[in-house]
Amino acid sequence: MKGLKTFPRGGIHPHGNKNLTNSKEIVKADIPGILVVPMAQHLGAPAQAAVAEGDVVTEGQLIGKAAGFISAAVHSPVNGTVKEIRDVFMANGMKSSAVVIEKEEGFVPAEKSKSDSWKDKSAQELNETIKDSGIVGLGGATFPANVKYGVPKGEKAEYLIINGVECEPYLSADHRLMLEKTEAIIEGLRILKKIVEPEKIAIGIEINKPDAIEKIRKQAEAENFELEVVPLKLKYPQGDEKQLIKAVTGREVPSGALPISVGCVVSNVGTVNAVYEAVALEKPLYERTVSVTGHGVKNPGNYLVRVGTPIRQLIEASGGMADKFAKVVIGGPMMGFTVFDLDTPVTKGTSGILVLTDREVSGGQRTACLSCGKCVGVCPMGLNPTKMFKYIDHDEYQSAMDTGLMDCKECGCCAFTCPAHIPLVQGMRLGKKMGRKKVS
Ligand code: SF4
Ligand code: SF4
C-alpha cells in the first residue's frame, strides 16, 4: 500500500511469524500454586517488600512499595500466604528480591465490575491511582506510567500517541488486545485524555493488523471519541517511541531528550488497557497478556497470565516443547533475553515467551568485520555500530559514548543484518554498562 507513514532512517523487515498466534484468542492461564513475584519488574528503583514471611495476602494487596520517583508498586496476584522472600534471577540476568506466595486453596479470582466514578476525579487523583496501581509501560520498557503521564509544568502535550505497532516478530498480544478489549482501550484513552490533556490523540498500528485498525477506528467513531488511527508501513523498530513519533508526526526527538520535548507523550496500547483496569475496575497491575509462540512450542497461543507464574507452566499449557527447540526467549526475538531457567517468573514486562528451533535462530560463525557498512545503513538512530563495537572491543568506552552509544536503542537491526555475525547488540549492552560504571 503506497503513501503509508513510517520513519525514514534505517530499519529492517524481519519475517513476522505473527500467524502462529494472531488468530488465537486470549485465554486465562491457570494460576500456579506458588507464585514468585519480583520487586524489580520496572525501570528505576526496585520496590521494597511490604510483607513478611507468614503474612496472609489478598489479590491486589500491596506487597511492594515504590521506592522513589522512578519506581513502581507491586501487588499480590492471588489470595495466599507469603512463604518466603528471596532473591531470584530475572530474564535480563539481573538479581531481584521476590515475594514467594503460596496460593490459598480453592482461590477464585475476584470479578471486577466497571465504575464511572473516575469521572468525578481530578487529573492528579487519576494519575495517583495509576501510580498506586503499579502501572508501568507494558510494551517492554516498563517505565512507571504515572511519571510519563505527569507532564511537567511549562510543557504541553500536543500529541498523545498510542503505540499499537507491535513490530517485534512473533508477538501478537497487543494485536489481540486491540481486537478483544477495544472498548476498554477507548475508555482508557478517555482517562488519559483527562490526565495528559493532549490536543490530539493518535494510535499508530502497522498495516499487518488491518482488523485492529478497522476495529479501533469503528469503536472510536461509534463512541464519538476523537482519535486519529494511523496505519503504518511495516518496518522494525517502529514500536520504538522515537521512531513512532517520527512516523506519526514527523518530529524528531533530539539525542538525550524526552518525547515531551517535541510535545509528545507515547504509551503502549497494553498500558492503556491497564490504565482502564486500574481506574475503572480498581484493579492493580498483577496480570498481563503474553504470547507463547515459536515453532519450538506445540500449540502457540495468547494468555492472560498472573505475574509470578513460571514460564515453564505456560510452555506446558501450550502443548510443551517440540522435539527440536534451540532456545527460549522472554520478549521478542529482536530485543528479548534468552533464558535458561524455566522457573523464571512472568513479570509486568513479559510480552512474549518464544520457544525457537534451530531453523529460527539465526546463527553462523563469527568472522572479522567486512567493512560492508550494512549495520550503519539500518541503524534507525543514525549511529555507526561497527565503529562503536570496535571501541568497546578495545575497552575504549568513553570513545564509544562520544560516538553516540547512549543513543543506541538495542533494537538489534545492526546485528540482524551483519553478514559477519558480530554480536553487535551484546557489545552495545556491555559498552553501556561499562561506560556508566566509568562515569559514576
Ligand atoms: S542496536 Fe543500537 S547501534 Fe544497533 S541498529 Fe539498533 S540503535 Fe543502532
Ligand atoms: S555489518 Fe558487520 S561486517 Fe558489515 S560493517 Fe557492520 S559490523 Fe562490519
Domain of residue 169, CATH code: 3.40.50.11540
> What's the sign of the alpha-carbon dihedral 349, 352, 353, 359?
negative
Measured in angstroms, how far is the CA atom of residue 8 from the centroid of ligand 1?
15
pLDDT band, residue 1 (cuts 50/70/90): low
Q: What's the number of CA atoms in the CB half-sphere (13 Å) around residue 363?
A: 8
CB distance 427 to ligand 1 below 6 Å = no
Residue 434 domain-assigned (yes or no): yes
Query: What mean pLDDT value characterizes the chain?
Result: 95
Predicted local confidence at residue 289, as pLDDT: 98
Ligand number nearest to the C-alpha of 364: 2
The answer on 397 and 257 residing in a single domain is no
Q: Is 18 left (phi over 0), alpha (psi -120 to 50) or beta?
A: alpha
pLDDT of residue 7: 97
Give the residue-averaged pLDDT of 336-355.
Answer: 95
Cβ(378) – ligand 2 distance below 6 Å? no
Q: Does 146 lie in the same domain as 268?
A: yes
Predicted pLDDT at 372: 97
Q: Which pLDDT score, from 0 to 100, does residue 37 have?
A: 98
pLDDT confidence band for 86 (50 / 70 / 90) = very high
- State the cell numbers at 94: 539481573
The arithmetic mean of pLDDT across residues 380-401, rounded, is 96
Residue closest by Cα to atom 5 of ligand 1: 379
Q: Residue 392: inside a domain, yes or no?
A: yes
The SS3 of residue 98 is strand
Residue nearest to ligand 1 atom 8, measured at CA: 379
Shared-domain flag, residues 129 and 270: yes
Cell of 438: 566509568
DSSP per-residue codes, 328-373: EEES-TTT-EEES-TTPBP-TT--EEEEEEGGGS------------
Q: Is 387 in the pocket of ligand 2 (CB under 6 A)?
A: no
Distance (Å, rounded) from C-alpha 333 to C-alpha 411? 10
Task: Say how far apart CA 403 and CA 388 lie, in whole Å.
Answer: 7
Residues 263 and 381 in one domain: no
Domain boundary among 280, 314, 333: 280
Q: Evaluate if residue 327 carries a pLDDT over 80.
A: yes
Cβ–ligand 2 contact at 123 (below 6 Å): no
115 lies in some domain = no
Q: Is the pLDDT score of 438 beyond 90?
A: no
224 lines ligand 2 (CB under 6 A): no
Residues 272 and 133 reside in one and the same domain: yes
The whole-number pLDDT of residue 375 equals 98
Tell me, yes or no, whether 275 and 390 share the same domain: no
Closest ligand 2 atom to residue 374 Cα is 1
Query: How far is Cα 370 from Cα 378, in angstroms, rounded to an integer?
Result: 16
Task: State the average pLDDT over residues 160-188.
Answer: 98
Q: What is the DSSP letter of 48?
A: E
pLDDT at 440 over 80: no
Evaluate if residue 255 carries a pLDDT over 90.
Answer: yes
Q: Are residues 127 and 262 in the same domain?
A: yes
132 and 268 in a single domain? The answer is: yes
Which of 222, 252, 280 terminates a domain? The answer is: 280
Tell which residue, 409, 374, 403, 388, has the closest CA to residue 238.
409
Q: Per-residue confidence at 439, pLDDT binned at 50, 70, 90?
A: low
Residue 276 lies in a domain: yes
User: How does pLDDT run across 300-322, given as a tens digit for each residue?
Assistant: 999 999 999 999 999 999 999 98
Among 229, 245, 280, give the residue marking a domain's end: 280
Yes or no: say if 201 and 226 are a contact pair by the CB < 8 Å rule. yes
| The pLDDT of residue 2 is above 70 | no
Decide: 352 and 170 in contact? Cβ < 8 Å. Answer: yes
Residue 197: pLDDT band with limits 50, 70, 90? very high
pLDDT band at 362 (very low <50, low <70, confident <90, very high): low
Q: Is the pLDDT of residue 326 over 90?
A: no
* Structural domain contains residue 260: yes
Question: 116 lies in a domain?
Answer: no
Residue 173 has pLDDT above 80, yes or no: yes
Binding site membership of 148 for ligand 1 (Cβ less than 6 Å): no
Q: Please say if the pLDDT value at position 323 is more than 80.
A: no
Distance 265 CA to ligand 2 centre (A): 35
At residue 287 the predicted structure's pLDDT band, cuts being 50, 70 and 90, is: very high
Total number of domains in the chain:
2
Ligand nearest to the CA of 380: 1
When pLDDT is cut at 50, 70 and 90, the band that residue 416 belongs to is: very high
**Ligand 1 proximity of 424 Cβ (cutoff 6 Å):** yes
Flag whether 394 is in a domain.
yes
CB distance 383 to ligand 1 below 6 Å: yes
The arithmetic mean of pLDDT across residues 236-264, rounded, is 96
Residue 363 has pLDDT above 90, yes or no: no
Domain-embedded: residue 421: yes
User: Which domain does 417 fall in, by range?
Assistant: 374-439
Cell numbers standing for residue 377: 545503513
Give yes or no for residue 372 CB within 6 A of ligand 2: yes
| Residues 262 and 393 both lie in one domain | no
- My answer on whether 264 and 380 are in the same domain is no
